[in-house]
Amino acid sequence: MENGIVNVARRLPPDEFEVHVCCLERGGAFVERLPRPENVVVLGKAPGFSPRAVLGLARHAARVGADVLHPHNLGPLTYAALASGLGLWKPVLQGEHGVFQGDQGSPARLRQRQRLYRCCRRVHTVSESLRRYLIEQGFPAQKISAIINGVDTDRFQPVDKTLVRTQLGLPADGQFVGIVGRFDPNKKHLLLIEAFNEMATRLPGARLVIVGDKGAEKEKIQAAVQASPVRERIHLAGFQANPTPWYQALDLLAAPSIFEGLSNAVLEAMACGVPCLAHTACGNAEVITSGSDGFLAALDSQALLAGELHRALSDPGALAAVGERARSRVMRDFSMAAMVGNYARLYREVAGQVPGSAGH
């Protein structure tokens, strides 16, 4: 989500749009990638609901003269709705990035979203399948648009895998599968580690690269790696502000999550010529044609995931050809220019002015 915000902010026409970012709790590594890091304010909100943060957001929006408030997911939407005077003082464009997990899908949370959506002029999703999901949950179809994620195919492109692995301190040879993302339960890191342990006994050259940090399952994931019978073949890369070379080092990206709207990691890997093995439950079917430019399967168990990993990695030549088609697919259908243009159009529409300026 943060990466998507940065991608849009860096490419909106600067003579028309001025982007300000308000972090409710804290900043992070993505701040420095914004075109104007000085346009970031951190409210330092403590855990729990904070009226002070509502006031801080309202004051910041007034100070910068924001034409649009663009929150992402439920927590920020709550603050944006209140700070905007329930949408009467400032127009609100809500962004949704994944299906609702756990408590987020409870009747009480769905009712909360229904009320908050009334404060929004528009709601956007990152995939058409996520738009359909929201409509199926009872949200107003006429208010919801899909803006498909795009990828920077200049930044993310194929290179010599042997060379980049050497630069990263990885072995030059082998079959490398990786996962990129926060250590949250929905990403299914633990399932992937278990499946890798099983698959690795059949494929001695296989290696697992885990790129990411922070999240509720960080300690569990680290413990699972240490307990792995093939732990010397599992590489914990930590958080990477520039994940590009880590994608380029892979032969296959694993994306077993069932909660993504449309994964940026999948698009970025594909742009690097790396095919993806992804769950059928997400928006991945809008990106991947299974067997042609990637692989889709119901990755619901260790055995199923291990079998799919083995099938993909055991034929390097065929896998490389799938990777070539993956890059061709994103270059043709998932350009960054198209995504940014769609956001610009929606900002103008929500702001009620053509053209104008828009601030997050």
Q: What does the pLDDT profile of the chain (360 residues) look like in tens digits?
A: 888 899 899 999 999 999 999 999 999 888 988 999 999 999 999 999 999 999 999 999 999 999 999 999 999 999 999 999 999 999 999 999 888 878 888 999 999 999 999 999 999 998 898 999 999 999 999 999 999 889 999 999 999 999 999 999 999 999 999 999 999 998 999 999 999 999 999 999 999 999 999 899 999 999 999 999 999 999 999 999 899 999 999 999 999 998 777 788 999 999 999 999 999 877 788 899 999 999 999 999 999 999 999 999 999 999 999 999 999 999 998 989 889 999 999 999 999 853 334 445
Classify domain 2-150+336-351 at the CATH class level.
Answer: alpha beta
Structure-token match 């490389």, residue found: 320
In eight-state DSSP terms, residue 104 is G
Structure-token match 């359909």, residue found: 132
Q: Do 326 and 274 meet the contact criterion of CB atoms below 8 Å apart?
A: yes
Q: Which fold has domain 161-333?
A: Rossmann fold (3.40.50)
b (16+ CB within 10 A) / e for 224-236? bbeebebeebbbe
Q: Do 141 and 135 meet the contact criterion of CB atoms below 8 Å apart?
A: yes
Separation between Cα atoms, residue 128 and residue 132, nearest integer Å = 6
By CB atoms closer than 10 A (0-12, 13-18, 19+), residue 168 is middle
Is the torsion defined by CA of 93, 97, 100, 102 positive or negative? negative
Say whether the peptide bond before residue 355 is cis (omega within 30 degrees of 0): yes
Q: Which of 86, 90, 87, 71 is nearest to 24 (CA)?
A: 71
Q: What are the residues whose beta carbons fall under 8 Å from the beta carbon of 154, sequence distance 6 or more?
A: none
Domain borders along the chain are 2-150+336-351, 161-333
Tokens of 305: 């995931």
Q: Which of 233, 234, 239 is nearest to 218 (CA)?
A: 239
Three-class SS of 152-204: CCCCCCCCCHHHHHHHHCCCCCCEEEEEECCCCHHHCHHHHHHHHHHHHCCCC
Q: What is the pTM of this model?
A: 0.76
Q: Which of 71, 97, 76 is nearest to 257 (CA)?
A: 97
Specify the amino acid at residue 169: G
Tokens of 125: 């999703």
Q: Which of 3, 47, 54 is nearest to 29 (CA)?
A: 3
